[in-house]
């Protein structure tokens, strides 16, 4: 029997998330040039093709899987997280791992225990640490300086000509998180580090703008009920509390809460990555634990771990605990007795 249903569909939910990424992408392109857009343009067709091929190999119809828009979304999320001038073939390796290994090998949409985009990201990070930590120095109208143009970006990404009009070494730099870590290793204090990396701006010039634009997208997602508030709020609050705590104790060694909230992939992770319904906890209490643990892990890895940013690792680690969290946070059902 055909039941009456609400008009939300998987594809529509995915489309809302994609729409929410738009401000973030605009900021990325204005500050770092069109690298993210070029990557997205490469990865979206590759993602859809890979998905269709695997499904075809499993002798199923690929049409619904293509129509649900989850593969393009994965590509867009990954592209937003990659350094803007990453060579094209690395981007393809990343998306192939994300779609084939992290998603389709587990059975496709809904069956994957780990967030595909983050698996792709981490695989690239461990395989090509050099390229994956070479970011551009923020530039553009907002933060001053000239952005790298489309032609130059494409030249570097595709490596088409022998001597691109600009050299990678000339424009690349570490991300603020990376630079801050380096500064701390050098024995500088946080405030000195901030001066060094960003002319005194909060969390590294350009980066706070990118994080704020992702925050805007995230607020739209919560307002449109595409995601629930639990995970992002608990994650950001946990990150805020723990960073405030350490910052109060030793402001020279530990960065300010605002710095942590507005740098690296914090906002992208909080609203777009951690909230991936397939891999996140689903019980209300579980979501709060899930988010809070991610927040604490991000802080831990950023402060004491080997990699500068930690959103991907934290999310993947918590993905692993999702079934356990769900098991222990079953909500009280209607009519359940307290001692039952």
Partner 1 sequence: MSSMLIAALVIGGMATLFGALLGYASVHYKVEGDPITDKIDQILPQTQCGQCGYPGCRPYAEAISNEGAAINLCPPGGETVMVSLADLLDREPVALEQEERPPSLALIDEKTCIGCTLCIQACPVDAILGAAKLMHTVIATECTGCELCLAPCPVDCITMEPIPTDITDWSWPDPDMFKVAA
Partner 2 sequence: MIEYNKIVNDGLWRNNAGLVQLLGLCPLLAVTTTTINGLGLGIATTLTLIISNLMVSSIRNFITSEIRIPVFVMIIACTVTGIELAMNAWFHELFLVLGIFIPLIVTNCAIIGRAEAFASRNSLLPSLLDAISMGIGFTLILILLGGMREIFGFGTLLAQSDLMFGEGASWMTMTIIEDYRGFLLAILPPGAFIGLGLIIAAKNRIDMRVSAAPLSNMLPQ
Partner 3 sequence: MTLTNFKFHGGIHPKQLKDLSRDRAIESISWRDEDEIVITLSQGIGSLNHPILSIGDSVQAKQRISECYGEISVPVHSPCDGTITAIEERPATHPSGLQAVAIVIKPDADSSKIDINKANDLVNHKIDVSKLSELLSSLTAEEIISKIRIGGVIGLGGAGFPTCAKLHGGIKTNIETLIINGMECEPRITCDDRLMRERAIEIIAGVEILDHLLHPNSIKIGVEDNKPEAILALEIATTSSTSSIEIITTPTLYPSGGERQLIQLLTGKEVPSGTLPSAIGVVCQNVATVAALYHALLERPLTHRVVTVTGDGVESAGNYSVPIGIPIDSLLTQCGVVDSVRITVGGPMMGFELHNSRSPITKTVNCLIVEKNSSLPSAPERYNCIRCASCSDACPAKLMPQQLYWAAQSRDFEQTEKLNLFDCIECGCCDFVCPSKIPLVSYYRYAKGVIRGAKQEQNRADEARVRHEFHDARITREKAEKAEKLAKKRAALKAKKESNKSTDKPNDADKKGAAIRAAIKRAEAKKKAAAANS
Which one of residues 9, 61, 127, 248 is an interface residue with partner 2 (CB under 8 A)?
Answer: 127
- Kindly write out the interface string for residues 65-104 of this chain, putting x where it contacts partner 2 by CB under 8 A and - elsewhere: ------------------------------------x---
Distance CA 64, CA 228 (A): 26
68 sits near partner 3 (criterion: CB under 8 A): yes
Stretch that binds partner 2, among 61-69, 122-130, 186-194, 266-274 (CB under 8 A): 122-130
Q: Which is nearer to partner 3, 133 or 329 (CB)?
A: 329
Which one of residues 61, 167, 186, 191 is an interface residue with partner 1 (CB under 8 A)?
Answer: 61
128 sits near partner 2 (criterion: CB under 8 A): yes
64 sits near partner 1 (criterion: CB under 8 A): yes
Distance CA 89, CA 42 (A): 9
3-state helix, strand, coil in the chain (%, to 5): 65, 0, 35
For residues 98 and 119, the answer to whether their CB atoms sit within 8 Å is: yes
Stretch that binds partner 1, among 59-67, 160-168, 276-284, 332-340 (CB under 8 A): 59-67
Residues ≥6 apart with Cβ < 8 Å to 274? 231, 232, 235, 280, 290, 291, 294, 315, 318
Q: Which does 61 bind (CB under 5 to 8 A by kind): partner 1, partner 2, partner 3, none?
A: partner 1
Tokens found for residue 71 = 């593969």
326 sits near partner 3 (criterion: CB under 8 A): yes
Q: Which does 60 bind (CB under 5 to 8 A by kind): partner 2, partner 3, partner 1, none?
A: partner 1
Tell me how far CA of residue 202 lies from CA of 25, 206, 208, in angstroms: 21, 10, 7
Tokens found for residue 264 = 């690296």
133 sits near partner 3 (criterion: CB under 8 A): no
Q: Which does 161 bind (CB under 5 to 8 A by kind): partner 1, partner 3, partner 2, none?
A: none
Which one of residues 9, 167, 186, 224 is an interface residue with partner 3 (CB under 8 A)?
Answer: 9
**Least gap, CB of 22 to partner 2 (angstroms):** 32
Stretch that binds partner 1, among 58-66, 109-117, 138-146, 172-180 (CB under 8 A): 58-66
Which one of residues 26, 45, 56, 60 is an interface residue with partner 1 (CB under 8 A)?
Answer: 60
State the DSSP code for 186: T
Residues ≥6 apart with Cβ < 8 Å to 107? none
Q: What is the CA radius of gyration of the chain?
A: 20
Tell me how far CA of residue 259 lies from CA of 48, 197, 202, 210, 262, in angstroms: 37, 12, 6, 13, 5
Per DSSP, the chain holds a count of helices (H) and strands (E) of 18, 2
**Torsion sign, CA atoms 327, 69, 228, 31:** positive
Please work out, in degrees rounded to the nearest 5, the angle formed at the alpha carbon of residue 131 by the alpha carbons of 125 and 136.
115
Chain residues in the site for partner 1 (CB under 8 A)? 60-61, 64
Chain residues in the site for partner 3 (CB under 8 A)? 1-6, 8-10, 12-13, 64, 67-68, 70, 108-111, 228, 277-278, 280, 282-283, 326, 330-337, 340
């Amino acid at each position: 029997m055909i039941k009456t249903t609400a008009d939300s569909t998987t594809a529509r939910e995915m489309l809302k998330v994609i729409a929410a990424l738009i401000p973030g992408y605009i900021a990325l392109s204005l500050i770092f040039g069109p690298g993210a857009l070029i990557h997205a343009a490469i990865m979206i067709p590759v993602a859809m093709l890979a998905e269709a091929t695997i499904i075809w190999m499993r002798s199923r119809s690929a049409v619904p899987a293509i129509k649900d828009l989850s593969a393009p979304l994965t590509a867009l999320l990954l592209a937003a997280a990659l350094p803007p001038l990453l060579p094209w073939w690395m981007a393809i390796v990343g998306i192939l791992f994300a779609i084939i290994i992290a998603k389709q090998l587990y059975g496709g949409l809904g069956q994957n225990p780990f967030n595909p985009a983050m698996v792709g990201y981490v695989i690239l990070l461990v395989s090509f640490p050099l390229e994956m930590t070479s970011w551009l120095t923020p530039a553009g109208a907002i933060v001053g300086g000239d952005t790298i143009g489309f032609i130059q970006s494409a030249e570097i990404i595709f490596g088409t000509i022998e001597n691109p009009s600009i050299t990678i070494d000339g424009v690349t730099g570490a991300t603020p998180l990376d630079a801050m870590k380096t500064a701390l290793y050098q024995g500088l204090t946080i405030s000195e580090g901030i001066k060094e990396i960003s002319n005194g701006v909060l969390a590294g010039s350009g980066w706070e703008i990118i994080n704020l634009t992702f925050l805007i997208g995230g607020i739209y997602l919560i307002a449109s009920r595409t995601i629930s508030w639990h995970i992002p709020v608990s994650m950001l609050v946990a990150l805020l509390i723990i960073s405030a705590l350490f910052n109060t104790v030793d402001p020279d060694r530990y960065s300010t809460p605002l710095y942590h909230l507005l740098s690296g992939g914090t906002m992208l992770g909080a609203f777009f990555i951690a909230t991936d319904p397939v891999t996140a906890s689903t019980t209300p209490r579980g979501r709060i634990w899930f988010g809070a643990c991610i927040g604490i892990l991000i802080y831990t890895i950023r402060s004491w771990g080997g990699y500068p940013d930690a959103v991907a690792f934290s999310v993947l680690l918590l993905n692993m605990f999702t079934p356990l969290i769900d098991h222990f946070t079953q909500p009280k059902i209607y009519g359940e007795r307290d001692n039952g």
